Structure 1
Amino acid sequence: MSRFDRYVLSQLLVLFGFFALVLVSIYWINQAVRLFDRLIGDGQSAFVFLEFTVLSLANVIRMVLPMAVFAATVYVTNRLSNESELVVMQATGFSPWRLARPVVVFGIGTGLMMAALTHYLVPSSLAQLQLREAEVARNVTARLLTEGTFLHPTDGVTFYIREIDPDGTLRDVFLSDRRAPDRAITYTAARAYLVNDDAGSRMVMLDGLAQNFSLSENRLSTTHFTDYNFDISAAVEKTVAPALRVRDIPTMQFLRNFDGIIAEQKFKPGHVVEELHSRMSQSFLCVVAALVGFSSLLIGGYSRFGVWRQILGALVLLVMVKFIEGLVTDPVQKDPSLWPLTYLPIVFGLAASMAILWYVGRPRRPRRRLVEVGA
């Protein structure tokens, strides 16, 4: 690799790291705010919130990686052009194809990063995230320990706590059980404790009152109690273990036992084939994003209005690539034999970039001057 290639590649990597950090931060913070509101509002700890945000990080990086590649390529190419470095290299005999070599290396490097994400890191993190979400949903204690809010853990059950002491004592507890169609029971207690054992979660209420209203007899009976044991786990909606999705399984597992996984998980073959080839095409998308951003900025000469038209043209090409990607998804899912269509967006992007590089590097004939000769 020549000194020029190393120089351009170092510039691309530095700007890629900057744009990736900015874009990941924006997407990650947006997801973290929603996770914080949902998890902390449900009584989960800060550690659970941190765990969920870390598990979602791989998928966020996957989404922003092509955008960071495109932004870095456009920025570096524009700066090299404004500082006449590209003009100098072209004057020494470098063709557009030769100038694009460090960009291709940069695209391949980021494509390998994308491959590691799409084939292993993202599926593994999404599967673990789904599993942890199910475990949190089964955590009865965390779902009920919320002060000053009427909670509905399942249909027909309403739960309220006025205050929770530092030692875990629940103050002024209200529990309404209307699951039976002909009976409504309301419990009120001055104090209560949540206890977990092998049988499940139970709430021990102290110094309270139970009001039993029979709809068929239209009669209300009350019972004062010193302590009462209520099976709270039976009053909470049961959650089942989540089923694996196609995107939750790493590629190597599919390659080792393709037919077995489809039969076991009852996946549709078209969805599996489309997912696997989509993971491959996303790696090539980084190369396409880099070449589109570089080649588009080589069109045209110097303009005092800047290169906004070239950048707009590059964005239009990327939008067309993603548009074609959306068009071919459904046909491949319906008919797995059409899997080559998955790579049609990549072929279109590479063809457009190569056409632009050919157009920029084509030999130009000098214009003939027309000389008017008098009669």
Structure 2
Amino acid sequence: MILQRLDRYILKIATVAAIVLLVGLTSVIWVTQALREVDLITGKGQTILIFFTVTLLSLPALIGGIAPVALFMATLYTLNRLNSDSELIVMNAAGVAPHRIARPFLVLTIATSLLVCWMTLSVMPAGFRMLRDLITLIRADFVANVVKEGQFASLDSGVTFHYREKSGDALVGIFMQDRRDPNQPSIYIAERGRTVDVDGSSFLMLEKGTIQRETKHTDTTSIISFERYALNLSALSGDATGGAGEGDGDRVVYKPRERSTWQLLNQDTNEPYYKFQEGRFRAELHNRLSAPLYPIAFMLIAFAAIGEARTTRQGRAVAIQAAILIVGATRIAAYAAWTASVRSSFAAMLLYILPVVAIVLATFVILFAERLRPVLGRMTAPLLLPFTALAAKLRRA
């Protein structure tokens, strides 16, 4: 009964700390990203509802990345508080083993891992896909309702749009320059045009015009005249395939991060986009599958560092610094492995090897802390000496 109360007491402190840290860190980063989307209101004439929808759809990715760090910081905070209040000393004196104290932290870690798993495997790709569809509709609305007549407006990187005037629901005197492909820039000129929705996709139907395409490699220019031409506005995102001709079946090709995990696991290897970006598909899949391992690794690292009762003279500050450096190095190495996995299948395996190795070593330290503490102290002291000296100078100042 006493141990159950102890578990609930520790779990309550750690859970509150983890939630506060997760909400705080997520809010700060979300605000900085939201400020970058203010152009949706000021430049693209969208409502405040669209603004918050676009920015909130990035939250699952933030939560999935921040949750392991929040758990790590909450574990350090809880253990440091228990030690400062001499509660860890009392527990050890009462015969409670350090690995027994880890039980409530394991409960919180499992919950965090399940949260990260849910976010990365399901919610995050769905959010990115919804974001892509919403951005496509915003761009279509931008062409139809926001661009002022007689003005040249930049719709996307390398795309310039202009029309002379409006006549009812039609745009008259349309000019569009597309420089997204530097090897084949195109210029569209049409007498009239209007936006239409077909099966959930937005098209700009051009009438009586020409398309001028310049091929840099061969230094040739071709001019195509047309009576009617359907320009897929989703292509303005830069991720459409095929041309924009009428009846050519233009469609948006979703990036790996915008596809569900089931789609990545059952990917059609004959898809042209997959053949071109096979490495990115591999990196995205393994990054999602390995994500739930990092909360476990980070919590165990924190517990291995300060899970036992110590005094200030026993190097508790040094142990905290060492834990922070190890977690930081693990996170940086994981990011490097994720980037390298685009080109190397072995690097993709490092996404699993890094947290598994951290889990094994941290567990070993927790179980055999008394024997390993002197050795680890001698190994980490030289590395942390500059930070310790800086802290001492700051205290004297």
TM-score normalised by the chain length of structure 1: 0.69
Deviation at 1:315, TM superposition (A): 1.0
Q: 1:359 to 1:135 in 2, by over 3 A?
A: same
Deviation string, structure 1 residues 7-48 (Cα, Å, up to 9, x no partner): 211211111111111011101111111112344322122221
Match of residue 266, structure 1, among 274, 277, 287: 274
Q: Quick one: which of 240, 246, 255 aligns to 1:245?
A: 255
| Change in CA separation of 1:87 and 1:274 when aligned onto 2, cut-off 3 Å | same
5+ residue gaps, structure 2: 178-188, 206-227, 241-250, 374-397
In 1, the alpha carbon distance for the partners of 2:284 and 2:122 equals 13
Q: Using the TM superposition, give the Cα deviation of residue 66 of structure 1 relative to its aligned residue in structure 2, in angstroms.
A: 1.3
Question: Structure 2 matches for 1:88-99, cutoff 5 A?
Answer: 88-99=90-101
Label 1:351 to 1:293 Cα distance change in 2 as closer, same or farther (>3 A): same
C-alpha contact (below 8 Å) 1:96/1:361 kept by paired residues: no
3-state SS of the aligned residue for 1:35? coil
Q: Distance in 2 between matches of 1:237 and 1:245?
A: 14
1: CA distance between counterparts of 2:317 and 2:148?
53
In the superposition, relative to structure 1, how do residues 44 and 340 fare at CA in structure 2: closer, same or farther (>3 Å)? same
- CA shift digits 1:225-276 (9 cap, x unpaired): xxxxxx9x98x99624532122222223334xx2x43333425554434332
How far the C-alpha of 1:135 sits from its partner, in A, is 2.1
- Residue 285 of structure 2 corresponds to 276
Q: TM-score, normalised by structure 2?
A: 0.66
State whether structure 2 residue 303 is matched by structure 1 residue 294: yes
* 1:145 shift after superposition: 4.7
Matches within 5 A, 1:336-355: 336=345, 339-355=348-364
Higher relative contact order (CA 8 A, sep 6+): 1
Paired residue total: 315
Q: 2:314 and 2:91 mapped to 1: Cα distance?
A: 24
Instruction: Give, as a single letter, the amino acid of the residue that structure 1 aligns with 2:96.
Output: F
Identical aligned residues as a percent: 25
Q: How far is 1:340 from its partner?
A: 3.6
Distance 1:143 1:362, change over 3 A: farther
Structure 1 pair 146–61 and aligned structure 2 pair: CA distance change class (3 A): farther
Task: Report the equivalent of 1:54.
Answer: 56
Secondary structure class of the residue paired with 1:131: helix
Q: 2:81 aligns with which of 79, 82, 98?
A: 79
- The unaligned stretches of length 5 or more in structure 1 are 162-168, 170-174, 180-184, 186-193, 203-230, 365-375
Give the superposition deviation at 1:122: 0.4
Tell me the distance in 1 between the aligned counterparts of 2:284 and 2:252: 20
Aligned residue identity for 2:12: S
Secondary structure at the aligned position of 2:25 is classed as: helix
Paired residues for 1:19-58 under 5 Å: 19-58=21-60
Residues 201 and 296 (structure 1), Cα distance of their counterparts in 2 relative to 1, 3 Å cut: same
8 Å CA contact 1:111–1:287 kept in 2: the answer is yes
